[in-house]
Structure 1
């Protein structure tokens, strides 16, 4: 009997979730709690091949792997190769660059607001 490609696709994701959780010492029950799902809902999601990208993103944050990690079939690689290759990224994902720039702008805005508030305090202090 032929295996449907979607079955294989979701089985790779499920296997990677299970392996990474085990490597980090996190039970699937705890993982479900961390991503704000019930244990039953989490297991149903895995068994029905219905994981949402939003949920996989939460899983990736808890398991400290990029989302793309869960789509690759790591079963043929040794545990050492899998673990070491996942942490040796040549450059950070593009989203980190844009997040970093956004945070810089936010810091700049907050510093400007702080200066304004200090100036107001200084002016109010002179009146007394």
Structure 2
């Protein structure tokens, strides 16, 4: 159910991406209280991006999940920004995160919906 998409202008090696994806899968599962077997994480190739008028490292994330509570978004923002700062040296003030709660009937999986 949880889906995290990462877009950044930072070049990241394929090996590093795989390790980041593995860590983020665990991080999302833990912070949303959802089984990791349902977590999907995507790391797009580096994109031309600009934030605040310059092309210094920046990132845009989308986190969607069934039952994503607004009360959890501040903690999720802090945790995800800290992770990207630690792993990719992207300052938290150069990261946007879009949170979305999905209705279970609007999220398909395994030939049905949740």
TM-score for both structures, normalised by structure 2: 0.29
Indicate the structure with greater strand content.
Answer: 2
**Higher normalized contact order (CA 8 Å, seq sep 6+, divided by chain length):** 2
Q: TM-score, normalised by structure 1?
A: 0.27
Greater Rg, structure 1 or structure 2?
1
Higher helix share: 1
